[in-house]
A and B are shown apart, each in its own frame.
Chain A
Amino acid sequence: MFEFSVLILIPLLSAGVCYYLKNFRLQYSISLFVSAIHLLLSLVIFIGWYKTDLPFFFSTDSLSKLFLLVLSNIYFWVVLVSFSYLKRPVTPNSEEGKKYYFLLLNFYLFANTAAILSNHYGMYWVAAEGTTLSVAPLIYYYRNEEALEAMWKYLFLVSIGIAFAFIGILFLTLSAKGTPLEGQQLFFSEFVKNARTLNPVWLKASFIFIFVGLSTKIGIAPMHSADVDATSNSPSPIAALMSGSLRITALLGVMRIFQIVQPTSTYEFAKTILIIGGLLSLLFAFIFMFKVNNYKRMLAYSSIEHLGIITLGIGIGGLAFVGAMYHIIYNSLNKVVLFFTAGNIHYKYKTREVDGVSSVLNILPWSGWLLLISFLAISAIPPFGIFFSELMIFEGMLFSDKPWILAVTMFLLLFIFINMGKTLFQMLYRKNENENLPVEKERFGIIHFATIVLLILLIAIAVASPNILHENIVNISKDFGIKL
């Protein structure tokens, strides 16, 4: 019950408290405290120093422990920098958006933790929808027309998507007719145990509906449009939160059904669907990068690309699956770094258009260099983590029964890298055309500090390769029936 209180109840309580407190600093302190203990407990649970015994529809396994730690970590850094974002002057309209900022953040933590820890498909659904509801108003933080449109599209499309996922859940119930699971609760663990007895036709339908439905939230092409709009128009901490943690929470739902499908005859079908989804995402990112004119949109497409790589890795299986699990961790850290620095650039230049940004390295040296380094990191340059995880995924592809996927992926990634690099270098190095920009030395702030720590973490995890993490990922692979 202790862990249930800390991980789920306290964030909810803190959301309630934030509603009544008018002082931002106080709201910030409480939220930061809650996020710190959440992170601490998630870490302790991950390491295995504390054995969990969650009530109701919740439980932990290797997969949820990893996802919980990723969420906790991203959330902590997002909250840490949030106050400096709130302090920035905005239009009078946007002042209203600040009022519910921490309330919604805390509610997000509550809903997302509940989704990750749920052992029941119904519970997962309710909580996942809760995350949409908490994030949607945060997208509308700037109170401008683009943000409004992005919020509407996100709320509407993701709600429909998740309604489709619910149909998939009902199909899962249907697949259990005439098996020991009939009339039982929709516990993942029970379904995994009795997966072989499930009706394959309904199971297939269930997989498709859950995958397509949750794709709107994961951002897998061709259901990615609302997600891109939302990520590119929300304030940077929220974009980081969405790219770093919300997408993988939705991915968790797909992974759960994939785990159920694994011992059945539907497995090959599911793998093919995941591979198609992954390749399509890479293709969409590839096409977009040719005509990029908004750098935040570019980062949103980069998220689509990396979620595509993760989905591909999961679909291919074997070593690629292990690589995908590492990629989840590295990508989430890297996306936070990218969005934080992009946020600084947006604040200074007041535009998201690439053409309006020039000479970042001179005008914003801290943010400029950090953006450059994080671009190298996301492009899989060693010693950053993405290099190692992508290498593993590529190796898995090469030794799978479909090695041609590696060739296609490498081709698409090469052009994504070239085009993304071209755009970013233009922003960083092009001669200053904004003579009216106030030239003042960029001061080192908490955002830079968070970015540097996360970049160090990105290298440290990859180079040190902690045994505990490796063991956890091996356990996840075992749960998914993968022989290494």
Chain B
Amino acid sequence: MQNVLSILFCLSLFYLAVTSRVKAYVSVLRFQGILLTVLLVFPFINHFSVYAFILPATLFVVKVILIPRYINKIILDLDIKRMIEPSIQPFTFQLLVIFSMIVIFVASNILSKSTSIETIPFASGFSAIAVGIFVIIFRKKLIIHVAGFLVLENGIFLFGTAVASELPMMIEIGTLLDVFVVVFLMGIAMNKISSTLSGFDVTALGRLKD
């Protein structure tokens, strides 16, 4: 099951590589949030306990409801245009994503021989980290940068489940809240940037340099 969900997760990354609509990024974030929630709930399906559901529930609320809604609200408020404004050719971007994913999967397979890791979730998580970084580097709109950051965060989360890290629930919830507040502050900053610097993309940020 973990593998199936991870592959779905990878597919969502491919979708990110081909789409050029801002809204599609939000949908992908929501979809990834749902996948991660299912991934967390799945081990507890047979022995139900309220305690075990606190973390998936928080994850669902933060990653599927609050953050996508908030980003949608920003898009609406700032009247951000629907295209993502890439800084490289879409085809080059897709090649880059596919190539890096191949490298990551092959490398993970080699690594899994010496350490016991779940290859597919491990590689999927890492791919999401790479795609998140590519999105931040090769897209101009700040809102897409935030989405890229969230894809990266989702990747780390998936990666965390692959290495079976035993973080206490309080800390997991703490990390989720941190991410939410980061996005919240970025949203406020974006609002200010659009009103004072009159722009939604990185070209508006060029005042500070040596």
* Interchain CB contact under 8 A, A148 and B192: yes
Q: Which of B158-210 contact A (CB under 8 A)?
A: 159-160, 163-168, 171-172, 174-175, 178, 181-182, 185-186, 189, 192-193, 196-197, 205, 207-208, 210
Chain B interface: which of A21-29, A38-46, A160-168, A465-473? A160-168
Tell me the A114-153 residues at the B interface (CB within 8 Å). Answer: 120, 122-123, 125-126, 129-130, 132-133, 136-137, 140, 145-146, 148-153
B49 at the interface (CB under 8 A from A): no
Stretch at the interface among A177-185, A310-318, A365-373: A177-185
The answer on a CB contact under 8 Å between B171 and A149 is: no
Contacts A148-B193, A151-B189, A173-B165; A133 near B159 (Cβ below 8 A)? no
Whether the Cβ atoms of A177 and B116 lie closer than 8 Å is: yes
Interface residues of B in 111-131 (CB under 8 A from A): 114-117, 129
Which partner residue on chain A sits nearest B146 by CB separation?
A156
Q: How far is the CB of B144 from chain A (nearest CB, A)?
A: 12
A160 to B133, CA, bound (A): 9
Of A129, A151, A152, A183, which contacts B178 at CB under 8 A?
A: A129
Q: Which of A136, A149, A201, A297 contacts B205 (CB 8 A)?
A: A149
Cα–Cα, bound, A122→B166 (Å): 10
> Which among B17-25, B27-35, B93-101, B148-156 touches the partner chain?
B148-156
Query: Contacts A152-B205, A202-B115 given: A129-B156 contact, CB under 8 Å?
Result: no
Interchain CA distance A69-B101 in the complex, whole Å: 47
Q: Tell me the minimal C-beta distance from A12 to chain B in angstroms.
A: 13
* Contact across chains for B149 and A233 when beta carbons are under 8 A apart: no
| Interchain CA distance A177-B116 in the complex, whole Å | 8
A126 and B175 in contact (CB under 8 A), knowing A149-B207, A152-B193, A170-B156? Answer: yes
Interface range, B side: 35 or more
B185 & A148 in contact (Cβ 8 Å cutoff): no
Q: If A120-B171, A148-B189, A163-B152 touch, does A174 touch B163 (CB 8 Å cutoff)?
A: yes
Nearest Cβ in chain B — how far from A454, in angstroms?
29
> Interface digits, B48-76 against A, CB 8 Å rule (1 contact, 0 not)?
00000000000000000000000000000
B182 touches A159 (CB 8 A): yes
A87 at the interface (CB under 8 A from B): no
Assess the A291–B171 pair: CB atoms within 8 A.
no
B145 close to A (CB within 8 Å): yes
In the bound complex, what is the Cα–Cα distance between A130 and B175 (angstroms)?
10
Q: Determine if A305 is an interface residue (Cβ-Cβ < 8 Å).
A: no
Docked complex Cα distance between A140 and B145 (Å): 20
User: Which residues of chain A are near B186, meaning CB under 8 Å?
Assistant: 152, 155-156
Residues of B within 8 A of A160 (CB): 136, 149, 152
Chain A residues with CB under 8 A of B149: 156, 159-160, 163
Complex Cα distance A183/B168, Å? 11
On whether the beta carbons of B208 and A149 are closer than 8 Å, the reply is yes
Tell me whether A229 is interfacial, beta carbon within 8 Å. Answer: yes
Tell me if A186 is interfacial: C-beta within 8 Å of chain B.
Answer: yes
Report the separation of the CA atoms of residues A148 and B198 in the bound assembly, to the nearest whole angstrom: 12
Residue A477 lies at the interface, judged by CB distance under 8 Å to chain B:
no
Most buried by B among A122, A155, A171: A122
Bound form: Cα–Cα A384–B168 in Å: 45
Q: How far, in angstroms, from A404 to B119 measured CA to CA in the complex?
A: 45
A91 CB, nearest partner CB in chain B, Å:
12
Chain B residues with CB under 8 Å of A297's CB are: 210
Can you spell out 28 A-B residue pairs with CB atoms less than 8 angstroms apart? Answer: A57-B168, A126-B175, A130-B178, A132-B182, A133-B181, A133-B182, A140-B189, A140-B192, A146-B207, A148-B189, A148-B193, A149-B205, A149-B208, A152-B205, A156-B149, A159-B149, A160-B136, A167-B156, A167-B159, A170-B156, A170-B165, A171-B163, A173-B164, A178-B116, A185-B166, A186-B165, A186-B166, A229-B208
List the interface of chain B (C-beta within 8 A of A). 114-117, 129, 136, 142, 145, 149, 152-153, 156, 159-160, 163-168, 171-172, 174-175, 178, 181-182, 185-186, 189, 192-193, 196-197, 205, 207-208, 210
